[in-house]
A and B are shown apart, each in its own frame.
Chain A
Amino acid sequence: MEAREKALTQTSKKARLEKRGKIITFICISIMVIAAASILFFVISKGLATFFVNNVSFVDFITGTDWNPSKTDAAGNPLVGALPMILGSFGVTLLAACIAAPLAIGAAIFMVEISPKFGKKILQPVMELLVGIPSVVYGFIGLSVVVPFIREHISGSGFGIAAATAVLTVMILPTVTSLTVDAIQSVPRHYREASLALGATRWQTIWKVILRSARPGILTAVVFGMARAFGEALAVQMVIGNSVVIPTSLFEPASTLTSILTMGMGNTVMGTLDNNVLWSLAMVLLAMSLFFIIMIRFIGRRRKVK
C-alpha cells in the first residue's frame, strides 16, 4: 500500500526528465535573449553618447554632408554628417535588390516550374555553394574584374555605386533565389491543377496563379536579400571607393555606413567623439536591420490571414 502511494505521489522519472529538459531549453533561450538585449543596450548607449555626451545635434548627424570627425567647423561643431553614407547604403541596397529580384524570381520559376529535375539536381547545389563563399572573395573578384571593367568600358575610376551594386547583386542572388524557390514550392498543388483544368496555359498559370499566391513569400525573400546587402561590409568596402561625398553619378566613389564603420573602428580611441560617432553609425545600421525584420514579420503575418 505504502509503496503504491509512494509511486503515485512521487514525481516519476519521465516527469523529472521533462522538467530537466524545460530548464535546459529555458537557459538556452534566456542566454539568447540576454545576448540580444545586451547588444541592443550596448550599441544604443554608445551610439547615443554622441548626442548626449558630445552634444552633437541628431538632425545635423542625419542630414549633414560633411564627415570629418577629427575636425570642427567654424562654429566649433564637429563635422559628423552621415547623410552621404546613409544615401550610399540605401543606394546600393535598393539597386542590388532591383536587379537581383527579377533574376531570382526567373531562376526560381525555372527551378520549380519549368525544369524541376535539373533544378533540384544541379541548380540547388550551385545556389548553396554561392551562399557559402566568403564575402572577401566576392570583394576581391569585384576589385579584380568588375572595377577594371567599368573603368575601361564605361567611365570614371571604376570604383563606385555601380561596382558595389554588381558585387552585391551576385552576393544576394542565391539567398533571394533559394527563398523564392521555397515560396513557389509551397504553393498548393491543387492551385496549379485547377488553373490548368480551366484551360489556362502554363505561362498564365505561372503569372496569374503561382506568382500571385507566392507573392508574400517572394517579398520576404527580397527584403531578406536587402537586409543582407545593407549589412554587408567587406566586399562593398573593397569596391565602392569609400569617399564620403554624395556622388553625382553611379561611377563615382561613394561610401556606405558599413564601409566607414569598419575602416574607422580600429583607429579611434574609445570614449572620444571619433569613436562615439562610429557607434552612432552602428546604431543607424541596427535600426535599419530592425526595420527590415519588422517588415519581414509584417509581410509574413499578412500571408497567414489570407
Chain B
Amino acid sequence: MKKRFLGIVAVIAAFTMIIAGCGNSSTSSDKANGNAGSKEVSGSITAVGSTALQPLVEAASKQYTAENPKAQINVQGGGSGTGLTQVQQGAVDIGNSDVFAEEKDGVDASKLVDHRVAVVGMAPVVNKDVGVKNISKQQLIDIFTGKITNWKDVGGKDEKITIINRAEGSGTRATFEKWGLDGATPIKAQEQDSSGTVRKIVSETPGAISYLAFSYIDDSIQGLSLDNVEPKEENVATNDWKIWAYEHMYTNGEAKGLTKTFLSYITSKDVQNDLVPQLGYQSIHSMKVERDSKGNVTEVK
C-alpha cells in the first residue's frame, strides 16, 4: 500500500516539475526581452491564427530553431479571427491574419503593429470541362451574384454553373469579394472551408467555380484570367492582377526580444527568396506596389 502511495506522490512530483519547467521557459523569454541585442537567442513565443499562413510560419520557425536551439516557437492555427483576438488580449505574442486588422470588426487595430511577411494571389478557378479560360470582371460578378447561371453565356459549354464559396468570414473570401467582386455579395451557395477540399470539389464537379490561392492551382483545375490578365505573380507584383492579399503577423505593441528577431528573420532575404516561394507564397520583396488597409495603392520606391 505504501508503495502505491509513494507512486502517486512521484507522479504528482513529476507533474509539478513539468509545470515548473514551463514556468522557467517563460521567465527566460523575459530575459530575452531584456538583452535583445545579444547574439544568443532564447525563450519561447507563440504564434496563433490564419491557417493560410500557418505552413510558412511553421517552416520558418523550424529553420530558425534549428539555428537557435534555445529558442522555442509554438505555431498554431485557429483562423485569422482567433489570431487577432488572442494577440489583442495579449494571450499570444504573434497573431497571424489574412486580412488587415482594420477590416475585422471588433478588433482595435490602433494597438496592433502590422508585420507583412508574404503576399498571396488568388484567382477564380473552374472545372476543366466548362471550356472557359478568360472572362471579364463583370461576368465574374454576374456569375457570383446569380445573374449568369450557365457557362454558355460566357462562351463555354452548355453547363449549369455550380458556385462553391468559402466560409463566411474567411480571409480568402473577404479578399475575393473585395477585389474580385468589387464588394458585391455572392448568392447563397455551397460553402467549404479548406482549400484542399475546394480544389477536390471543383476538379470533380462539372460546371463548378470557386476561388483559390495561386499555390493551390494545379493541373486538375483551370485558373481563370480576368479581362485578359493572367493570374500570375508578375501581375500581382504590379497590381495588374488585383485579387491578392498580404499575410500579416500582428504584435501587440512594438515587437520585442525573440518576437522581434523572429519577425526580422522571416522577412529577411534568405527566407523570402527561398522558403516563401517554395511554399507557394509570394515574396514581400517582389512587390512593386504597396496597398494599405483602405485599398490605396502606392508604388514602392
Contact = CB atoms under 8 A, between A and B. Distances in A.
Interface of A: 13, 17, 20, 68-71, 143, 147-148, 151, 157-159, 237-238, 241-245, 253, 255, 262-272, 274-275
B79 A265 contact: yes
B234 interface: no
Contacts of A265: 79, 81-82
Q: What's the dominant secondary structure at chain B's contact region? A: mixed
B200 A143 contact: yes
B105 A267 contact: no
A272 B168 CA distance: 14
Contact of B188 (A158, A244, A271): A244
B19 interface: no
A274 B104 CA distance: 11
Nearest to A268: B81
B170 interface: yes
A262 B192 CA distance: 11
Given A253-B189, A269-B105, A274-B105, A70 B169 contact: yes
B107 interface: yes
29 contacts: A13-B1, A68-B185, A70-B169, A143-B200, A147-B204, A158-B205, A238-B197, A241-B190, A242-B167, A242-B190, A243-B191, A244-B188, A253-B189, A262-B193, A265-B81, A265-B82, A266-B77, A266-B78, A266-B79, A266-B81, A267-B80, A267-B170, A268-B79, A268-B169, A269-B84, A269-B104, A269-B107, A270-B85, A272-B105
Contacts of B78: 266
Contacts of B189: 243, 253
Interface of B: 1, 5, 51, 77-82, 84-85, 89, 104-107, 162, 167-171, 185, 188-193, 197, 200-201, 204-205, 208
Nearest to B84: A269
Contacts of A237: 193
A88 to B, nearest CB: 13
Nearest to B8: A24
Among B81, B185, B200, B204, find the residue whose CB has the most chain A CB atoms closer than 10 A.
B81
Given A264-B169, A267-B170, A267-B171, A243 B185 contact: no
A282 B169 CA distance: 18
Among A143, A262, A263, A266, find the residue whose CB has the most chain B CB atoms closer than 10 A.
A266
Interface pairs A-B: 3 shortest CB-CB: A266-B79, A267-B169, A272-B106
Given A157-B205, A274-B105, A266 B80 contact: yes
Contacts of B89: 270
Contacts of B167: 242, 263-264, 267
A26 B201 CA distance: 52
B81 A242 contact: no
Contacts of A147: 204
Among A20, A157, A241, A265, find the residue whose CB has the most chain B CB atoms closer than 10 A.
A157
Contacts of B162: 157
Contact of B51 (A151, A242, A253, A266): A266
A143 B106 contact: no
Contacts of B190: 157, 159, 241-243, 253
Among A151, A159, A253, A267, find the residue whose CB has the most chain B CB atoms closer than 10 A.
A267
Nearest to A159: B190
Contact of B79 (A148, A151, A244, A267): A267
A148 B106 contact: no
Nearest to B185: A71
Given A70-B105, A267-B80, A148 B204 contact: yes
